[in-house]
Structures are given as structure tokens and as C-alpha cells.
Amino acid sequence: MPAKVVVIGSLNMDLVTRAPRLPRGGETLIGESFATVSGGKGANQAVAAARLGAQVSMVGCVGSDAYGEELRGALLAEQIDCQAVSTVDDSSGVALIVVDDNSQNAIVIVAGANGALTPEVIDRFGAVLRASDVIICQLEVPDATVGHALKRGRELGKTVILNPAPASRPLPADWYASIDYLIPNESEASALSGLPVDSLASAETAASRLIAMGAGKVIITLGAQGSLFANGKGFEHFPAPKVKAVDTTAAGDTFVGGFAAALAAGISEADAIRFGQVAAALSVTRAGAQPSIPTLSDVQAFKAP
């Protein structure tokens, strides 16, 4: 049987526009295209883990609107178990995304139904958590829910991954003891550690602080510079595969989902990181969030140029 991954988090409808560059404050730009795409960090990571070989269950909330039906349908199309995706009397979460000609993006999120994912909802689906090998959380649902999910994962003896995104401030101190793998990007690592992260050396310093704060292991994703792994005993830098980027949306989510799927399948940490990096690299060669996420066969067929 495939390894079981449970993702606890957000489902958003991404409203995506492309423009020559990101707008400045007070400025109106003429966009080049617009699309609605199923997304949300939680749902993206669930899709990534499913396409990359895991048996996946999603725990989250959608609204009683057309977007909610579409978001659930997108997960079901990936053979993701949605018994723990609840419909609530609210609008579904949305993300307003602008992508520029350099493939950089700016995102504004409106939580909507994601705000209804409470600790009580997590407990209602305890059987789903107990059946898992790996539990993944992010920060697009209420903090109380994230903290509760992390602790439940630790109590159940599961491998617990936290992707602290989006992060603008330090995490609650009591969360760290429940985290096996903390996976921030550069800006998130800086927000959590209080240190600048703009080079490999500064990433090592920030990772050391996060380990000292209680995280089990830290993986800082560095975009085109790859990833830095830290476990309190040392560091290892994993260079990124070289590809031509089209759209970086969901690259981090693809890495997290791929890493979790590989880790749950019994692959070593180092190889799971490399697997996640190849998946993320392939995702940036395609536009959109979930549409850009590769399959297991895509990753297996990848050959670095």
C-alpha cells in the first residue's frame, strides 16, 4: 500500500493574473491574462503528495459556493480522500496572485472558509490522523488549529512537517517540540529566527537558531540556490536542478508534498530532499499552482540538462 500522508490546511481558489511586472503602491497596470485555478497551500501540498506516489487525505474547509464545489472536485480528481473536507456557510478561501515576466509573484489571501477549521474539527476526524504516516501543516488556517494539529501528530507518534507559510512573525514557542521537519523559505526563516537570510551562510545561522528553539530538523528552501538541511549536528546544502522558470507559484508546496511522499515511503532524508527538489524544479517550468505540479513518472523521467 502507498504511504499515507494527511494534509491539514487551506483550500483556496487562486485568481491569477499575469502582468509585465508587479505593481507599485497606488499603481494600476494592464494585465496580460487571467485564470481561476484550484490552490491553497494545503490543497497544493495534498495534490503534490498524491501525484508523487502517496495515499493522501485532506483535512480542511470550503465554502458553500461554486468555488467550494470546484476545490473539492479538484482533490477528488486526484484520488485524494476528502471525507474530512467540510463545507461551511461562508465563502471559500481565495488568493489574488500577480505573476510578472520574471516569474516572480505577489499574493494576497482571504481566508474565508479556511477560518472555520478549528481544533474541534481536527478531533472529529481523529481516525484520519491515526491512519497516517506523515502529517503536514501550514499557516493559512487559524494558529490554534495548527498548534493543536502539531501536538496531536506528536501524541500519535507520526512524522510531523510544518511548512510555516505564510510567516511574518516567530512561531509560538511550544510548537517546536512537536515538529520533526520545519520547512521555511528564506523570508519565512528570517521571520521565524529574527535573522536576515540572504545567503547560504546566513541560512545556516538561521537554521541553527531554529534548531536551538526546539525544531527537530530544518530544511530552508532557497529557490534557485537549492535547499539547506540542518539537524543540530551539521548542515548539508542541496543544489537545485537547473531549469528555465516560467512561474514559481506552488514550487514550495510541490517540494513539501514531494518530500513528504518520499519520506513516508521510507526513502532517506537526503534522497527525499533531492526528490522534492526535482518535483519543485519541474513545477516552475509550468504555469499555475496545481496544474504545474508534476507526477511521479515526470520526476522519474527527469534528466538534468
DSSP, residue by residue, 80-124: -EEEEEEEESSPPEEEEEEE-TTS-EEEEEE-GGGGG--HHHHHH
What pLDDT, on the 0 to 100 scale, is given for residue 168? 84
What pLDDT, on the 0 to 100 scale, is given for residue 287? 80
Q: Which residues contact 98 (CB under 8 A, 6 or more apart)?
A: 17, 18, 19, 22, 23, 31, 105, 106, 107
Q: How far apart are CA 16 and CA 35, in angstroms?
A: 5
What pLDDT, on the 0 to 100 scale, is given for residue 257? 98
Residue 193 within any structural domain of the chain: yes
Q: Global pTM?
A: 0.93
Residue 298 within any structural domain of the chain: no
Mean pLDDT by 10 residues, the chain (305 residues): 87 93 93 93 97 98 97 97 97 93 86 97 96 97 98 98 93 97 97 96 97 97 95 95 86 97 95 97 88 95 79
Residue 272 within any structural domain of the chain: yes
Residue 267 within any structural domain of the chain: yes
CATH number for the domain spanning 268: value is 3.40.1190.20
Q: What is the DSSP letter of 125?
A: T
Residue 7 within any structural domain of the chain: no
Residue 84 within any structural domain of the chain: yes
Residue entry with cell 532517506 = 268
The count of structural domains within the chain is 1
Q: Which domain holds residue 48?
A: 41-91+112-293
Residue 20 within any structural domain of the chain: no
Active-site residue list: 253
Q: How far apart are CA 32 and CA 273, in angstroms?
A: 35
What pLDDT, on the 0 to 100 scale, is given for residue 104? 83
Are the CB atoms for 89 and 65 separated by under 8 Å? no
Residue 127 within any structural domain of the chain: yes
What pLDDT, on the 0 to 100 scale, is given for residue 2? 64
